[in-house]
Chains A and B, each alone.
Chain A
Amino acid sequence: MTDRGKIDSLRLPVNGPGSSFSELLEARKPDLLPERDVKGHVEVPEGTTVLALRYAEGVVVAGDRRATEGFQIAHRSIEKVFAADDMSAVAIAGAAGPAVEMVRLFQTELEHYEKVEGERLTLEGKANKLSQMIRANLPAAMQGLVVVPLFAGFDENREYGRIFKYDVTGGRYEEDDYHATGSGGKDARGSLKKRFHPDLTRDEAIKCAIEALFDAADEDVGTGGPDLMRGIFPTVAAISSEGLVEVPEDEIRALFEEVISERGGEVRGPESHPVDVRRPGEEG
């Protein structure tokens, strides 16, 4: 009768897993934890571009909808921006399967802690927890299953939005203004760099995010632009002291249409190409 936890799962051993859900799984159902000991190299669908930027009242997180597998499109409407809880979001880039699993564990971890302790973890605490989870994924990352999320949320103690980026070892770096990651991350960052300023309003920040994703999709084959034919648009969430709100699809669609009409005039089509190119049909 020394280990009561084994006899009856509703009774708590004093030295049990406390308020951490992943420690609980480790103790009771380790098979449910993500596989860490991966051998060999595997090809899986990859999520591409996600970004986050701060605005006056909080932070905006956005991501395109494409998953690729080599040069193939693996999925056209994958979700990459997830609410971690009411006050924060994770945006995933890299191996989609392990990333989505990591997000699910992270979400459960935060909710479990909140319910057991009666209060939410601080934003700092959440960011550190995610960092540990990425570090635990390092052996899998060495075999090609790299997961590098962006984490952003509203810090209720400091009363402003914060953005954290990670490296594959779980290294955690806070960004002051904006960050983008994934295959189109560099292009999105370039776009954000030109448009970002610290006093953006919510609407301006969302427009900034949309333009950055548009620019990334323009330059990077892995990043999906707005799919007008199927009605698939990137996902955007805004987090302020009021909590996380997903930006409605209509608003995102309208903003893309705005970007297209604004830029349409600047784009030169093939007709106006300066080089004299003759098409077969025009001959003679």
Chain B
Amino acid sequence: MPMPYYVSPEQLMRDKADYARKGIARGKSVIALEYSDGILFMAENTSATLHKISEIYDRIAFAGVGKFNEFEQLRIGGIRLVDMKGYAYSREDVTAKSLANAYSQTLGNIFTSEVKPYECEILVGAVGEETASNELFHILYDGSVSDRTGWVAMGGASDQLNEYLENHYTKDYPKSVPDLKASVAMGHDALKTVEERDLTAEGLEVAILDRARARRKFRRLPAADLTKLL
């Protein structure tokens, strides 16, 4: 029986990470911005049915970049997890933190124990009573989580988008955050600048977690509403 070649763990992890990063870099990007009444999610997406951004629970939304089937699986898994938790206990017991934790465990396990890591990054956002209590968890392909404030960009052009938003997003967070119109414009400009072409409302997928709404805070902004805002 032939012996397999020895590969050092460092090399193995590096190869997997490179593989996952390359897969993610091929895809489109998603950005999230905290605005005065909640959180705005924006992605370049020509499909009206294959969403990158979706509702998870009353206050929680999900965004994914990379391989669609992989983050879609995580999205549905997340909905199952929180719906069961909310049903067994109460709706208030469902938190973004515990969901982000579950995602992190899953992605971490896949990254270390499976041959092929997931080529996706996800974002779990939850709108709070005020801007300071909003939550944004960015979870990478290897399960590492970061707790972000103000804005998050991920996907193919995340480096350039992060740089753009770093320069344009308010430095006075959380005291003065842009309103919806201003943040839609900022997101749109960021994507346009990075992609170096014009993006119409039809080519964008935009959704908000609006704290003014009743129980379910998530709402998609259809192209008609978006055109008015742009």
Give A residues with C-beta under 8 Å from B. Answer: 8-12, 21, 24-25, 28-29, 32, 104-105, 108, 111-112, 115-116, 118
| Complex: chain B residue closest to A119, CB-CB | B49
Give Cα A32 to B216, complex, Å: 24
Do B56 and A12 touch (CB < 8 A)?
Answer: no
Do A118 and B51 touch (CB < 8 A)?
Answer: yes
Give Cα A12 to B55, complex, Å: 18
Q: Which of A8, A25, A29, A115 contacts B79 (CB 8 A)?
A: A115
Do A28 and B84 touch (CB < 8 A)?
Answer: yes
Give Cα A248 to B143, complex, Å: 48
Give Cα A215 to B103, complex, Å: 56
Give Cα A105 to B109, complex, Å: 32
| Complex: chain A residue closest to B114, CB-CB | A1
Do B106 and A11 touch (CB < 8 A)?
Answer: yes
Query: What residues on A are CB-neighbors of B56 within 8 Å?
Result: 115
Do B83 and A21 touch (CB < 8 A)?
Answer: yes
Query: What residues on A are CB-neighbors of B73 within 8 Å?
Result: 10-12
Please provide the chain B residues from 87 to 134 with a CB less than 8 Å away from any CB of chain A in the complex: 87-88, 102-103, 105-106, 109
Shortest Cβ distance from B73 into chain A, in angstroms?
5
Give Cα A4 to B83, complex, Å: 20
The 0/1 profile, CB within 8 Å of A marked 1, for residues 77-89 of chain B is: 1111101101110
Please provide the chain B residues from 26 to 57 with a CB less than 8 Å away from any CB of chain A in the complex: 49, 51, 54-56
Give B residues with C-beta under 8 Å from A. Answer: 49, 51, 54-56, 73-74, 76-81, 83-84, 86-88, 102-103, 105-106, 109, 216
Query: What residues on B are CB-neighbors of A11 within 8 Å?
Result: 73, 77, 106
Q: Which of B76, B83, B84, B106 contacts A8 (CB 8 A)?
A: B106
Do B88 and A112 touch (CB < 8 A)?
Answer: no
Q: A32-B88, A115-B56, A118-B51 are in contact. Are A24 and B106 (CB under 8 A)?
A: no
| In the complex, the 9 A-B pairs of residues with the closest C-beta atoms, listed nearest first | A10-B77, A10-B106, A112-B83, A115-B79, A108-B87, A12-B73, A115-B55, A8-B106, A116-B76
Do B74 and A10 touch (CB < 8 A)?
Answer: yes
Q: List 6 A-B contacts (CB under 8 A).
A: A10-B81, A10-B102, A24-B80, A24-B84, A112-B80, A118-B54
Q: A12-B73, A118-B49 are in contact. Are A108 and B81 (CB under 8 A)?
A: no
Q: A115-B55, A116-B76 are in contact. Are A9 and B83 (CB under 8 A)?
A: no
Which interface residue of B56, B73, B83, B216 has the most chain A CB atoms within 10 A? B83
Shortest Cβ distance from A38 into chain B, in angstroms?
21
Q: Does more than half of chain A's interface fall in helix, strand or loop, or is it mixed?
A: helix
| Complex: chain B residue closest to A7, CB-CB | B109
Query: What residues on B are CB-neighbors of A108 within 8 Å?
Result: 83, 86-87
Shortest Cβ distance from A12 into chain B, in angstroms?
5
Query: What residues on B are CB-neighbors of A111 within 8 Å?
Result: 83, 216
Q: Which of B49, B78, B84 contacts A29 (CB 8 A)?
A: B84
Query: What residues on A are CB-neighbors of B49 within 8 Å?
Result: 118
Shortest Cβ distance from B127 into chain A, in angstroms?
16
Do B54 and A29 touch (CB < 8 A)?
Answer: no
Give Cα A21 to B216, complex, Å: 18
Do A9 and B88 touch (CB < 8 A)?
Answer: no
Shortest Cβ distance from A34 into chain B, in angstroms?
12
Shortest Cβ distance from A99 into chain B, in angstroms?
17
Q: Which of A12, A32, A105 contacts B76 (CB 8 A)?
A: A12
Query: What residues on A are CB-neighbors of B88 within 8 Å?
Result: 29, 32
Given contacts A10-B81, A24-B80, A115-B83, 11 further A-B contacts (CB under 8 A): A8-B106, A9-B81, A10-B78, A10-B80, A10-B106, A11-B77, A108-B86, A108-B87, A112-B83, A115-B55, A118-B54
Query: What residues on B are CB-neighbors of A9 within 8 Å?
Result: 77, 80-81, 102
Shortest Cβ distance from A117 into chain B, in angstroms?
10
| Complex: chain A residue closest to B79, CB-CB | A115
Q: Which of A8, A12, A32, A115 contacts B54 (CB 8 A)?
A: A115
Shortest Cβ distance from B114 into chain A, in angstroms?
10
Do B77 and A12 touch (CB < 8 A)?
Answer: yes
Do A25 and B76 touch (CB < 8 A)?
Answer: no
Shortest Cβ distance from A110 into chain B, in angstroms?
11
Q: A115-B55, A115-B56 are in contact. Are A10 and B103 (CB under 8 A)?
A: yes
Shortest Cβ distance from A205 into chain B, in angstroms?
24
